[in-house]
Structure 1
Amino acid sequence: MHLICVFILMSLIKSLDSTICLAKLVPDQIRLAFAGNQGVSVGWQSFGCPLTTSNPNPTPTVMYGLSKTNLNLTSINGNSSVYDTNNILKTSWFYSVELTNLQPSTVYYYQIKQSNYVSASNIFSFTSAPVYGSRSRAINIITYGDFGVDGIVEDILNGKCLFERALGALQKMLPVTDFFLHHGDICYADDSPEDLFLTYEGAFNYCQSMMTNITSTRFYMTAVGNHEINCTEIPVLNQLCSSSKKNQVPYSHRFNMPSKQSGGYLNSWYSFDYGFVHIISISCESDFPLAPSGNLLDTTTQVNWLKNDLSKVNRTITPWVIVQCHRAWKGSISKADIKEDGIINCPSCKAAFESLLIQYNVDLYLAGHVHWYERICLNGMFL
């Protein structure tokens, strides 16, 4: 009898897949990224209908154009993805599309198109990248690492709403900002006790929703950090972490970096150009000898890709080369936090990457992980 009841219940739940949601679902967590020299990726999240696993928007589409009142262009390469967020009531779906053949330095308006179950988004805008190699104006980049939601301990130590206050400061800088570089540790979606009541997917959803005003109008380019490639920072509680939260699975679904356009891998390593600047993002977490978080592929592919990418940079067109990664490998303060595995932080990162950065005269290396601000002069001499 019990087996029959379970079978009937599962059949009823499955039949809901074809039902209509009681209310239209709303696109959320809207974010922009570069997708080649004349392209932009638009990504977003929406929940599925309650108790169903069906994709509420199987043909994700963005309409865009040069006027709010004339969105006459249509996106390409619509993609849907899903992973187990351990929410039995509603499934999170992640979408991305590409806007291609954009005119340089041009304001575009865009809107996520409605589908049967998902409402249309508001109309947003962005300014496309300048001509490759253009030096007609200065480029303004906001860069930082290790930025995420507050927890109870942080509220006690720093006052309430530290994340929200920092977000407000970023919002004020939007008018003079071309794009963002976030050097890993995005939202702190893990099981840290100080994040009590806002962990895992809850932290990601809250954080990315709050950042939509920024990420829907400016390009938000990320690097993978230790909190993205792993979801826990309490070794004895690793069993709380499901496989869908390890090996940067959420990060791979939630962001859409230009790896495809630059020959990189997932959102782990990639590059892009913006005017006279060439930007490279690499992973300090995986895929090099003795990487802190092991390997998603192997120990050589990323390093070989970096060497190849650097060797192809035309310094007469993009004289500035910037590299971002999560972990610093130099620091002047003698503190246990940065003496992991030796005198310097992440000696394996230094061994894998530093000689290439010096060989190809990289101008600037940006990192997070160590929670203070420090600038170091050419090839490691301290200011």
Structure 2
Amino acid sequence: MNLKLFLLTAAVLVAASCATSDYVRPPPRKAIHFPWDAKASPDPTQVHISLAGPKHMRITWVTTDKHSPSTVEYGTSSNNYTSKAEGETTSYTYLLYSSGKIHHTVIGPLEDNTIYFYRCGGQGPQFQLKTPPSQFPITFAVAGDLGQTEWTKSTLDHIDQCKYDVHLLPGDLSYADYMQKKWDTFGELVQPLASARPWMVTQGNHEKENIPLLKDSFVAYNSRWKMPYEESNSVSNLYYSFDVAGVHTVMLGSYTDYDQSSDQYRWLKADLSKVDRERTPWILVLFHVPWYNTNEAHQGEGDEMMSAMEPLLYAAGVDVVFAGHVHAYERSKRVFNGKSDPCGAVHITIGDGGNREGLAHWYKKPHPDWSVFREASFGHGELNIVNSSHAFWSWHRNDDDEPVKSDQVWITSLSGSGCLAKKDYELRKMLLEP
């Protein structure tokens, strides 16, 4: 793009973004209902895929037949499977509920930016996936707090229209809330998208589902949505990282220990210390509870985690932070320690995927300097990272089933700024602290 045209376009887009929007979203829509089928079957259901280390993909599915094999056959031609992989299985019980057989099988090595055809368990339908590119450009679809309502379906339909490579979900997936069959119906709902592009998720409060003395937290979530935590040297499925194209993405847990003596904090320090900004010039971070939030909902809930971890993210030069939890949309300027800071991260709250609890309509007034745009609407976001220095972010509200682009901005990576040399020193200093 011509430099003058590029700068003019960027200026216009930034100017177009206002502090608040007067748009008011209609009320929540009804929950989606699924027919009950109790028959045992070896056919795969709830198929979804996720990244599992360089050039590998994890295929996850559920069968009601306990004897179904955990094999995946795959190849680059339809119905011509030239490779085969064997995986692992798990299952769980939850009070009177017993899950099906949950299969996790890693396939690869795979070619980048390539369409693969695959079949799970040696029978059933053929699925198709596309691996992400190895270099820029790359596009991420982002939507949190999905649930299983008609608004969720609208959001998923709009994401399906986006030519994205990876879906990022900052917590609150199924809204099962102890009703385990809703995990199964959620898997059915997202299968058309989640079986075709990798979905990278982290946990929210609706995934906890703990019952004191009876059930630990995150049993269903950890069993069904296995992420590449082992591949990124984490000891917990609740936090991990992955590289794709030139982007290092860190998924953190808002509902597991995060203070400076915790395993998660120590892992985060080690993970960020190994980031090579020549190889991955962009750093993204996701977690559920927002640190920067001007909505009346969930005020202050992220303060302790922010106090513990924000200095690490700042020192590492994190570019964008995505959060959910608040059922509305908000975008900040680059910010650190409660103030606008050109070397801080852009914080985006996007907990508006379509959940049954409705929207968080009320915002604090006046808004602080760092809050650029905020609106209580259902929708999704798209982050198109064009090259090592520039990315285009857009947020699309559902707007009565039409994906209206309501907020948009160009973002420049900190990897090419004067901030990074300073941050390299700060990060090294922090890593040497006890």
| 1:355 counterpart SS class | helix
- Structure 1 pair 129/165, CA: closer, same or farther in 2 (3 Å)? closer
Q: 1:53-104 CA distances to partner (integer Å, 9 max, x unpaired)?
A: xx322x410000111131010114x11101104456x642211101021122
Q: 2:257 aligns with which of 276, 281, 287?
A: 287
- For 1:162, the equivalent position in structure 2 comes to 151
Contact 1:330 / 1:345 at 8 angstroms: preserved in 2? no
> CA 1:243/1:217 → structure 2, altered by over 3 Å: closer, same or farther?
farther
Q: Decide which of 123, 127, 130 is 1:127's aligned counterpart.
A: 130
2:90 aligned partner: 81
Q: Deviations over 1:138-168 (max 9, x none)?
A: 2111112111023xxxxxxxxxx22222222
In the alignment, the residues of structure 2 paired with residue 61 and residue 286 of structure 1 have an alpha-carbon distance, to the nearest angstrom, of 33
- The answer to whether 1:369 aligns with 2:358 is no
Q: How big is the shift at 1:330?
A: 1.4
SS in 1 for 2:287: strand
Aligned AA (2:264) = Q
Aligned-pair CA distance for 1:29: 0.3
| Cα pair distance change 1:285/1:299, threshold 3 Å | farther
Q: With CA pairs under 8 Å and 6+ residues apart, which has the higher RCO, 1 or 2?
A: 2
1:80–1:94 CA contact under 8 A, matched in 2: yes
Structure 1 residues 283, 31: CA separation in 2 closer, same or farther (over 3 Å shift)? same
2:247 is equivalent to residue 277 of structure 1: yes
Q: Does 1:264 align with 2:238?
A: no
Residues 38 and 129, structure 1, Cα contact 8 Å, conserved in 2? no
Q: Which residue in 1 is equivalent to 2:298?
A: 338
Does residue 98 of the first structure (1) align with residue 106 of the second (2)?
yes
1:223 pairs with 197, 202, 206, which one? Answer: 202
| TM-score, with structure 2 as normaliser | 0.66
Secondary structure at the residue paired with 1:110? strand
What residue number does 1:60 align with? 70
Distance 2:99 2:254 in 1: 31
Aligned length: 302
TM-score (norm 1): 0.74
**Equivalent position SS for 1:350:** helix
Task: Find the aligned partners of 1:254 and 1:303 in 2 and give their Cα distance.
Answer: 25
Find the partner of 1:32 among 36, 49, 64: 49
How far does the alpha carbon of each residue in 1:275-322 deviate from its partner, in whole angstroms, 9 at most, with x for none? 111111010111223xxxxxxxx9521111111111111101110000
Amino acid at match of 2:116: Y
| Alignment partner of 1:187 is 2:174 | yes
Identity, in percent, stands at 27
Match of 1:319 in 2: 281
Q: Indicate if the aligned counterparts of 1:85 and 1:92 stay in contact, CA closer than 8 A.
A: no
State how far apart, in whole Å, the 2-side matches of 1:363 and 1:143 are: 15
Contact 2:131 2:165 in 1 (8 A): no
Alignment of 1:301 onto 2:301: no
Once residues 40 and 148 of structure 2 are traced to their aligned partners in structure 1, the CA distance between those partners, rounded to angstroms, is: 29
Q: Distance in 1 between matches of 2:256 and 2:154?
A: 32
The Cα offsets for residues 331-372 of structure 1, whole Å up to 9 and x where unpaired, read as 123x2x222xxxx33211102211100010000111000111
Q: Which one of the candidate residues 312, 316, 338 is aligned to 1:356? A: 312
What do the CA deviations read for 1:174-229 (whole angstroms, capped 9, x no partner)?
xx0101000001111115xxxxxxxx112111111111000100100001111112
Q: If each structure's strand is expressed as a fraction of its own residues, which one has the higher value? A: 2
Gaps of 5+ in 2: 1-37, 341-369, 373-434
The answer to whether the Cα contact below 8 Å between 2:79 and 2:126 also exists between their aligned partners in 1 is no
> Pairwise CA RMSD of aligned residues?
2.1
- Flag the 1:221–1:91 CA change in 2: closer, same or farther, 3 A: closer
Name the structure 2 match of 1:157.
none
User: Matched residues in 2 for 1:145 and 1:82: separation?
Assistant: 26
Q: Does the CA-based 8 Å contact 1:37-1:129 persist in structure 2? A: no
* Residue 172 (structure 1) aligned to one of 158, 161, 168: 161
Distance 2:206 2:156 in 1: 20
Residue 350 of structure 2: aligned partner:
none
Residue 26 and residue 113 in structure 1: after superposition, are their counterparts in 2 closer, same or farther (change >3 A)?
closer
2:394 aligned partner? none
Distance 1:184 1:299, change over 3 A: farther
